[in-house]
Amino acid sequence: MELSSPEEYRQKLAEHEAGIINGTYEFDEKYSDREIMRPFNYFFKVDYGTYLIDTIRTARSIYKKKKIKSLDLLFKLMGNTSYGVNVSKCFAMSNIVFANNITGTVRCCMYYAEKVLNLIQTITDGGIFDVNKVVLSHLFLHGICFTQN
């Protein structure tokens, strides 16, 4: 259930943990397969783009332009780790919707790349293609141009 603030979240979490410790936690028989872990089903919205990812991207682009490879790699690792923490069920802050949105976006981008570059095989990081079979460059080589009316 969605909560409106971090304070409300902390309060609900404290109540939940107290219920586990003092034995007042009530099992829901309907979800007996999941209840063994005593799940905490409250959350509040956080805009990861604004609060975290944009900051990491900005810092990384600064160090990339300055050609400071160590700090560039550090911020790349921070971005990848923030994704990993948010998609892993091993962390309390995991968010499957967040993970699904990122994975879906990457899959769409790879699909577009596959169509434009005539990729033979794709993985998350790229794909195999023949430079001579790239659709757009092939059309430009033959004098076919695209103009807007």
> What count of Cα atoms within 13 Å lies in the side-chain half-sphere of residue 46?
13
Tell me what pLDDT residue 35 has. 54
- Catalogue all structural domains in the chain, each as residue range(s) with its CATH number: 1-45 (no CATH), 47-94 (1.10.287)
β-partners of residue 121 are 128
- Per-residue pLDDT at 70: 95
Q: What is this structure's pTM?
A: 0.51
Q: What angle do CA 101, 125, 146 make, to 5 degrees?
A: 85
pLDDT tens for each residue of 38-64: 666 777 777 777 878 899 999 999 999
Q: Give me the pLDDT at residue 88, please.
A: 81
SS3 at position 122:
strand
Chunked in runs of 10, what are the mean pLDDT values of the chain (149 residues)?
A: 84 78 64 59 77 90 94 92 81 77 86 84 80 67 55
The Cα 124–Cα 103 span in angstroms is 9
